[in-house]
Amino acid sequence: MVFYSFVIFFVTVTINIHMVDLLRLTNFYVPRRASNQVEIDCKYDVEGKKLYDVKWYKDGQQFFRCAGDGTVNEFEVDGVMVLHPRSASVGACPLTLIVLTTKSSGEYKCEVTLDTDGFPMVWQSSRLDFLLPPKRHDPEIVPQGSERRTSEEETETEKHTLEKEAETKAGCKGLSSNIILLLIMYFIFT
């Protein structure tokens, strides 16, 4: 009886090892550092077998799933905001992580599973660390032949005008980046 159990176990393990050999990651990309948004990718080859799903995890929590039929599901995980297509194709599961923060740092893992006996899987992971983007300083343009007055020489009206200009510039920068993000989302999802 023990002998037959061993034979069944050996055959099962051999079949599963063979199936895992048929399933392999061909390209896995998670950068070590990012500051605003970043593309991550998990490409795989199922060697003609049926895909069950591809899952993405951050620190052990699943945040995205590409099913074998092409449907996609997103799950809420703190620090992870995903921009993705409405459906996935077999062979890759690329994502764009957007609005990165310090909470976005962590271990990102891609797990690919076949739809066959034992659900063999392969996975790979890599650490992503959030970096604060460098501070941007707009250059000051001073007309040739003139000098910038010191703040002591400025009148209250001039100070008020400069403050309003700075507020307008800051508001326009935020507005333009939001418009760009909306356009990107529109083209991806339509």
Domain count for the chain, please give it.
1
pLDDT, tens digit, 9 for 90 and up, residues 23-81: 899 999 999 999 989 999 999 999 889 999 999 999 999 999 999 998 999 999 999 99
Contact criterion met (CB below 8 Å) for 33 and 129: yes
Residue 93 placed within a domain: yes
Q: How far apart are the C-alpha atoms of 49 and 51, rounded to whole Å?
A: 6
CA dihedral of residues 44, 48, 50, 51 (deg, nearest 10) = 10
Residue 108 placed within a domain: yes
Q: What is the pTM of this model?
A: 0.61
| CATH code of 73's domain | 2.60.40.10
Give the structural domain span for 101. 21-134+181-189
Q: How far apart are the C-alpha atoms of 165 and 147, rounded to whole Å?
A: 19
Residue 94 placed within a domain: yes
Neighbour-count burial for 2-27, b at 16+ CB within 10 Å, e otherwise: eeeeeeeeeeeeeeeeebeeebeeee
